[in-house]
Chains A and B, each alone.
Chain A
Amino acid sequence: MTAPKTKELARHRRERIWMWAQLVPVLVVLVVLFGGALVLAVAQSLGFAPWFGVNTFPDFSYFAALWGAWSFWRSLGLTLYYAIVSTGIALVMGIILALAMVRLFPGKTLYKYLYKLPLMIPYTVGIALAVIMLGNGGMLSRLMAFVGLIGDPSEFPQILKTHYGWGIITVYVWKQTPFVTLTLYAVLLGVGRETEEAAAILGANKWQIFFQVTLPQILPGIISSTLIIFAFNIGAFEAPFILGGGYPDTLPVIAWRYFNDADYSLQLQGMATVVSIALIAGGILYSYLALYRRYERRIGRS
């Protein structure tokens, strides 16, 4: 009686081992690289950097110096402002575009290619396009001169290199609207139109259908795509570096400046900046997800 049982157990154990063997490669890469990077970043920001001859772990002075400075909070505000505004605009534009894309129209195939173009090319291209369109000598400024609104490039309302950040926001929106659209379009294709039809038969008008039927259905897609682009926007470096207004800079740019400083003791300060970015982004995204989960439970979906 015991023999089949041990055999069964052995088979079970073999299967478990085989399963983990398949998971281990990915796990190792992520734990070592990604986890290792996070742990070492935290350790360094707390004063552990023997290779610089610094080892005062645990030492909160780098965080204290960083968080004690008014400029840090201004930079944080600026970082969040660019991230939130562009995520919001990209979301609204993406929803409208996805809703249009599920309909039938001539040239739809062409549009399926067209709207994905920004998704395929690097952010740096988007920045170059912003420079040529929105710069003081750019196409918009020429257009305004052409219709006689301005007579000199200096009269053109400054769009790039200001803290309003419309250049940065435009680049993010240009690049990320397609991402939101693609995610939502996929969800819309997946859920089909039956529930909308049912709502229409029951007498709902198009706004009721959108807010009470379609929106709850695409909400998971909205959450997932905005999480990803928001996180990217907080950590992005190149657009604020090139198109930003200079001091106060966004947090990733500040971290970069600390790291390029000749005074290497500032590198630990930079590490504290980087860890702060991750902490703040993590906190925001976690609360965002938690809020969403609570909503899902409230409507009884999960």
Chain B
Amino acid sequence: MARGSFKTALNSRLSTFQKIYLLLIAGFILGPFIPLVIQSFAFRWAWPDMLPGTWWLEQRENTLMPLAWDYVISPYSRVWEATLNTMFIGTVVTVICLAICLPAARVLSRETFPGKPAFEFFLSMPLIVPEAAIGIALLMIFIHIGLAGTYTGIIIVHLIPTIPYMIRMLTAVYQGLGRDFEEQAMILGANRWQVMWQVTLPMLLPGVVAGALFTFLVSTNIFLLTFFLGQGKIVTLPTLLFSKISGGTLDASAAGITLVVTVPGIILLLITERFIKEEAFGKGFGN
């Protein structure tokens, strides 16, 4: 009896409830993509049919491609432009963010100084101040100084929500690194630069890659700031999709664009899962 209750209290396998729950979660997360894919290949899909009444295949003589995909690859949809913009902005933001966060994370993980807790709190403030407040306030300034609707403006503004994440990830990496190896190298006669290039950087690299991927991901996901500061002149994948579905309906072409916007996320998921250890996210906020 006692051993039985011990076993149920400390089971390392799934209970029946957990099995069902995991299946439901899978359905909740992936399920909605099924009608999306179907919609993108439909020609006519009237209510209440569970499957399209007319597939694009039956209309092949009229269109070479499914309507949705024909639209997606045509220049009218601006998908190509939005993809390039998203990638470009994400890359530049990641590089800048990395360059300014690396030294700061180094100091934060190794030094103590008066006011450090306040400093750390200020660094994570952008996470808890509503994006709408920052976006609209900056829009007024950026219009005034001519940065609204420019790449520079959007890249600058993307730094605000990405810095807190980058700092957190890099600080965790530096803390895990320890100082021993660098000191060893110093004792063996290496100078500051040799230590930097031959000891610190190689050990830091996996963490830096993880931080960079995560920053890129956050940047490509940002809607509100891009929408406000892009002024409609610069479209990215999130803002493109927003304008397509803002009417509250979803036609075949919108379904196609939704799928396209999903693809970078899937690619990043496959890459990050290899580079980012889940433990890296364990560092609590504000402590």
Residue of B at shortest CB range from A131?
B250
**Cross-interface CB contact of B104 among A26, A118, A242, cutoff 8 Å:** A26
Query: Which residues on the B side are within 8 Å of A178 (C-beta)?
Result: 29
Q: Known contacts being A23-B103, A117-B266, is A128 close to B224, with CB within 8 Å?
A: no
Q: How many residues of A contact B (CB 8 A)?
A: 116
CB distance from B147 to the nearest CB of A (A): 11
Query: Which residues on the B side are within 8 Å of A19 (C-beta)?
Result: 107, 111, 113
Give the number of residue pairs across the A-B interface with Cβ within 8 Å: 317
Binary interface profile of A, 187-226, with partner B (CB < 8 Å = 1, else 0)? Answer: 1011001001101110111100100000000001101110
Query: Which residues on the A side are within 8 Å of B129 (C-beta)?
Result: 34, 38, 231, 235, 278, 281-282
Among A30, A153, A241, chain B packs the most CB atoms within 10 A around the CB of A30
B286 at the interface (CB under 8 A from A): yes
Query: Which residues on the B side are within 8 Å of A190 (C-beta)?
Result: 279, 282
Query: Which residues on the A side are within 8 Å of B13 (C-beta)?
Result: 103-105
Binary interface profile of B, 1-25, with partner A (CB < 8 Å = 1, else 0)? Answer: 0100110111111100011011001
Kindly specify which of B64-72, B73-81, B138-146, B200-208 makes contact with the partner chain.
Answer: B138-146
Query: Which residues on the B side are within 8 Å of A100 (C-beta)?
Result: 14, 18, 21-22
Kindly specify which of B53-61, B183-191, B239-247 makes contact with the partner chain.
Answer: B239-247
**A133 touching B32, Cβ below 8 Å:** yes
Kindly specify which of A2-10, A60-68, A70-78, A267-275 makes contact with the partner chain.
Answer: A267-275
**B237 touching A122, Cβ below 8 Å:** yes
A contact patch SS: helix
Q: Known contacts being A133-B35, A224-B285, is A117 close to B265, with CB within 8 Å?
A: yes
**B269 touching A116, Cβ below 8 Å:** yes
B223 at the interface (CB under 8 A from A): yes
**A183 touching B286, Cβ below 8 Å:** no
Query: Which residues on the A side are within 8 Å of B106 (C-beta)?
Result: 22
Task: Give Cα distance in the complex from A123 to B220, angstroms.
Answer: 11
Residue of B at shortest CB range from A109?
B273
**A34 touching B134, Cβ below 8 Å:** yes
CB distance from A234 to the nearest CB of B (A): 5
Binary interface profile of B, 251-284, with partner A (CB < 8 Å = 1, else 0)? Answer: 0001100100110011011101100001111101
Q: Known contacts being A122-B220, A122-B241, A205-B9, is A34 close to B160, with CB within 8 Å?
A: yes
Interface size class for chain B? 35 or more
**A278 touching B246, Cβ below 8 Å:** no
Binary interface profile of A, 268-297, with partner B (CB < 8 Å = 1, else 0)? Answer: 001100110110011001000100000000
Query: Which residues on the B side are within 8 Å of A225 (C-beta)?
Result: 285
**B107 touching A22, Cβ below 8 Å:** yes
**B284 touching A38, Cβ below 8 Å:** no
B197 at the interface (CB under 8 A from A): no
A115 at the interface (CB under 8 A from B): yes
Binary interface profile of A, 121-145, with partner B (CB < 8 Å = 1, else 0)? Answer: 1111101111111010111011101
Task: Give Cα distance in the complex from A78 to B202, angstroms.
Answer: 50
Excluding A133-B35, A223-B285, 7 further A-B contacts by CB distance (< 8 Å) are: A22-B107, A120-B268, A120-B269, A121-B261, A124-B242, A274-B130, A274-B137
Question: Can you list 14 A-B contacts with CB-CB less than 8 angstroms, sorted by A residue number?
Answer: A33-B159, A100-B18, A105-B13, A112-B278, A141-B47, A193-B12, A201-B6, A206-B9, A223-B284, A228-B128, A232-B131, A235-B133, A255-B136, A256-B136
Q: Hey, which bits of chain B sit against chain A, CB under 8 A?
A: 2, 5-6, 8-14, 18-19, 21-22, 25-26, 28-33, 35-36, 39, 47-50, 99-101, 103-104, 106-108, 111, 113, 119, 122-123, 125-134, 136-141, 144, 156-157, 159-160, 163, 167, 217, 220-221, 223-224, 227, 237-238, 241-242, 245-246, 248-250, 254-255, 258, 261-262, 265-266, 268-270, 272-273, 278-282, 284-287
